[in-house]
Chain A
Amino acid sequence: MIEAANLSKRFGAVEAVRNVSFVARDGEITGLLGANGAGKSTCLRMLYGVLGPDSGHARVDGIDIRGETSRARAHLGVLPHAAGLYGNLTARENIRYFGLLQGMDGERLGARTAELARTLGLTEFIGRRAKGFSQGQRIKVALARALVHDPGNIVLDEPTNGLDVMAIRNLREMLLALKRQGRCVLFSSHVMQEVAALCDRVVIIGHGKVLADETVQSIRQRSGGASLEEAFLQVLGNSDRVS
């Protein structure tokens, strides 16, 4: 479970995130929806602790990320917006590096890598150097790297960016599989169809504020059975315009 409690962050004169609170629950996929520049990345970065909030708290499984960073991070897998690999290392070595830095020992790491290779479909290219990988292959390895220590929570910042239709579909299935395993999945996106197709809950962010935090169904119901796009636009339209 990931909790954001009254998170605020300002960069100079810009208030990037204002008093944001929401909860991403275990066994659910939570979508963080917002236009470019709405504050999604800043919000996620505070959740995985590379940015410190000016006020408020972020907790992973109840552990404060600023207070006990290392312990909280052990419960968390992160796929940042820029999820580059080390080109001169093989896919396996890339995954192994992160596993070792998560404090895993060799045996457990080997077994876990083999398992991830099977479930994420890496077996074909796991021994190849990452230099020539396609965007789809790269995201799979980056996801495996984020999941190597078997975290209960996973945060993904715009994971579908730059992926083709097949790769997006693959990713979607992977996220659903993570949900079925009872994990808490939190991902950001600016594509509403994507969020609608995948999420149990949606947190809509505009200008650094939470505009809506509800289940996809309730948004649908509220708009009186109109198309989902209409429903989203209604939420966005109720505050000042996001995009």
Chain B
Amino acid sequence: MRALLTVFGKEFLENLRDRRTLFSALLFGPLFGPLLFGAMVSRMLDQSVMEADTPLQLTVSGSSHAPGLWRYLEAQGVRLSKADLSENEARAAVRGGSAQVVLIIPQEYGRRFAAAAPAPLLLVADSADSQTRKKADRARRVLGAYASAIARLRLQVRGVNPLIAEPVAVNEVDVATPTGRAVVVLGFMTYFVLFAVLMGGLYLAIDSTAGERERGSLEALLSLPVARLSLVGGKILATCAYMCLSLALSLTAFVCVFHFVRLERLGMSANLNARTAVIFFAICLPFVPLGAALMTFVASFTRSYREAQTYLTTVLLVPTLPIAFASIYSLKTKSSLMYIPSLSQHLLMTSVLKGERIAVPDVLVSAAASLGLALLLIVLTARHWRRETMLG
């Protein structure tokens, strides 16, 4: 035990002096997720606010053929601009970006409108562009509203109750809670948290194994009267310490980001505050030794820093797989899924974000599964360290 703590202390101190470790453990790992996240969510906010506030712009060609429609659109607050474009010119203008949505009113519009026959309109837009697609949708809605207003008037003029043309009235009831809606956006936040956990220990796991070999200090270390399990244990413990730091920083950063990003304006609310951050920390804690043991185990087989880095970047992706599966099959929190590390942490954190109650047995199973696997990996790593091939 003393030897284990000695190894822990040395690895902790040595890496505290290593710029690479500090950068990945305390800067890049924990802050990458929250910053990317904050930037993305505020961009989404800006867009949705912009969409609601800015008036629709519409380029209209042949406006003289439909003065009634023109007045209606003006009254609806649509920013209209007159143009004289043929259909081909309009296509070119939209494709070239000089206009976003063009409404063409053909010459026969007036005649057919007066005869109460369907009067043709041409709406030119690019549906591959998400921005103009939204504008085209708005234009379609305004034109639809105009059409049904005219239809109602025509029925009234003919002495028919316009309600007859509306056989059903659909009212939508959206049961999504603000927090529930937010989970769609926050779904991948849990991955960033697990990513931060792993990043926190990445370089330490490499440095204490492949680094030890590359530096040429491994053989001297192995010739000491110290059990290999103590060596491995101390190294993994130091890796865990950095991972916990990274996790704590990452959660703090997320809490800050959510404090400043006004999710409520998106009609969402995230259940992420100091209290839930502590719960997140507790949920992720059993994942820490698992990640540390996994990375140390993999890195123990490599000969150099570079080789270890290559393999461990793949390890960083491992926790994404269950999470990706979960979102593809839209898995809900289930007791049977608590046996799968990373997925169980993801599901538990998502539940907390949604403001749902989490079951204590689920938390315990999740922790036990992760810790059990961690223990197995620690034993396997120590076994590998006892092999002669370890000397390389």
Contact = CB atoms under 8 A, between A and B. Distances in A.
A78 B217 contact: no
Interface string A25-43: 0000000000000000000
A49 B223 contact: yes
Contacts of B221: 101
Contacts of B18: 88
Interface string A85-100: 1111100010001101
B220 A88 contact: no
Contacts of A49: 223
A70 B230 CA distance: 13
B7 interface: yes
B347 to A, nearest CB: 40
Contact of B220 (A87, A98, A100, A129): A98
Interface stretch (B9-17, B97-105, B197-205): B9-17
B225 A71 contact: yes
Contact of A69 (B10, B225, B391): B225
Interface string B189-224: 000000000000000000000000001111111111
A106 B221 CA distance: 19
Nearest to A84: B216
A101 B216 contact: no
Contacts of B14: 86, 88-89
Interface in A55-106: 69-71, 73-74, 76, 78-89, 93, 97-98, 100-103
B357 interface: no
A50 B222 contact: yes
Contacts of A93: 10, 13
B7 A101 contact: yes
Given A50-B388, A73-B223, A78-B220, A86 B215 contact: yes
A145 B220 CA distance: 9
A45 interface: yes
Contacts of A79: 220
B226 interface: yes
B144 to A, nearest CB: 69
A43 to B, nearest CB: 14
B225 A102 contact: yes
A51 B391 contact: yes
B241 interface: no
A73 B225 contact: yes
B26 to A, nearest CB: 16
Given A86-B14, A103-B2, A98 B224 contact: yes
A4 interface: no
Given A88-B14, A89-B13, A81 B225 contact: no
Contact of B226 (A51, A101, A146): A101
A187 interface: no
Contacts of A97: 6, 10
Given A45-B391, A69-B225, A83 B220 contact: yes
B3 interface: yes
A82 B6 CA distance: 22
A165 B88 CA distance: 88
Q: Which 9 A-B pairs have the closest CB atoms?
A: A84-B216, A82-B216, A70-B225, A80-B219, A73-B225, A84-B215, A84-B217, A88-B17, A78-B223
Given A51-B388, A70-B225, A89-B17, 18 more contacts: A50-B223, A50-B391, A69-B225, A74-B225, A80-B220, A82-B216, A83-B217, A84-B216, A85-B217, A86-B14, A86-B215, A88-B18, A97-B6, A97-B10, A101-B221, A103-B2, A142-B220, A145-B220
